[in-house]
Amino acid sequence: MSALSRFEAFMENIVEGSVARLFRSPVQPAEIAKRLERAMEANQTVSVRRILVPNYYRAFLNPQDFEAFKPIRTEVEREMATYLAELAQERRFSMVEHPRVELVADAGVPRRTIQVVAETHAAPAAPHQVGDTQVIPAQVAAAPAARARLLLATPTGTHVIPLDSTSMTIGRGLNNDIVLEDARVSRNHAQLRYKSRRFWLTDLGSTNGTFVNGEPITERALRDGDVISLGGLELTFRHMDR
């Protein structure tokens, strides 16, 4: 049975007595579930070995439509979250933690309309096996006057991380421009800045340190071929003038 079929079966089982009016509402639970699915599909972030999708969803309804859901709101929100978790598993998507769904009344939403906002809320860092590294590269503009990239060796081959901004942060936290999900990397580990026609690497007070060619650094200008170590995770810096 698919995730959607299980969700619909759940809704049929709990709707009885006074809550039967829910199915006479212009907005049906399955319709909300499908809107949540579309929001999940539309907000994918592709990394080295997984596709990350949001884990926090809010479905905004007109207050009159929202009223019909109030008797079983908690059960519906919980089951919709389970539906999204199962759907993500079916499609081999990843989330930073179990999804959460909220139904929200909003007078600005027209009747019979559903508006969904999907976001990723970072979970506390979980332990990773050494070498089990995920990468979410930066998606930025304002390319510097040089072509540069970081090369990361992965089990599936070399992953290329383009350096196409004048300032980029690197770390395990999702707020960074370049996300390296590895236990050795601090949440906010280092920063890359392009100035005076060179890239400079600065340690941001990381736990395990930042090294260039085996030497610990606080700040250092990079050269083509330099090997950067972020607490033991190694990347090669490549730089070619235009």
Domain that holds residue 184: 148-239
Same domain for 95 and 28: yes
14 CB-contact burial (10 Å; exposed 0-12 / middle 13-18 / buried 19+): middle
Q: For residue 92, count other CB atoms closer than 10 A to its CB.
A: 8
pLDDT digits (tens, 9 = 90+) for 160-189: 888 877 888 998 887 788 888 888 999 999
Which of 66, 102, 236 has the alpha carbon at shortest distance from 163?
236
Q: Assess if residue 130 is contained within a domain.
A: no
Do 184 and 130 meet the contact criterion of CB atoms below 8 Å apart?
A: yes
Q: At what angle do helices 3-14 and 73-90 cross, to 10 degrees?
A: 160
Q: Assess if residue 127 is contained within a domain.
A: no
Q: Assess if residue 135 is contained within a domain.
A: no
Q: What is the average per-residue pLDDT within 190-216?
A: 93
Same domain for 167 and 114: no
Q: Tell me the whole-structure pTM to 2 decimals.
A: 0.49
Q: Assess if residue 137 is contained within a domain.
A: no
Query: What's the order of all strands across the beta sheet hosting 93-94?
Result: 45-46, 51-52, 93-94
What is the predicted pLDDT for the residue at 22? 47
Same domain for 113 and 19: yes
DSSP letters spanning 129-191:
-TT--EEE--------SSEEEEEEEETTEEEEEE--SSEEEEESSTTSSEEEE-TTS-TT-EE
Query: Percentage of the chain with pLDDT > 70?
Result: 76
Q: Assess if residue 40 is contained within a domain.
A: yes
Distance of CA 107 to the CA centre of its chain: 30
Q: Assess if residue 90 is contained within a domain.
A: yes
Q: What angle do CA 162, 127, 98 make, to 5 degrees?
A: 85
Question: Residue 242: pLDDT band by 50, 70, 90 thresholds?
Answer: very low
Cα separations (Å) of 162 from 22, 132, 139, 146, 178? 51, 21, 9, 11, 10
Question: Residue 208: pLDDT band by 50, 70, 90 thresholds?
Answer: very high
CATH of the domain at 26: 3.30.2320.60
Same domain for 216 and 152: yes
- Whether 7 has a pLDDT exceeding 80, the answer reads no
What is the predicted pLDDT for the residue at 192? 94
CATH of the domain at 220: 2.60.200.20
Count of the separate structural domains present in the chain: 2
Q: Assess if residue 125 is contained within a domain.
A: no
Same domain for 12 and 103: yes
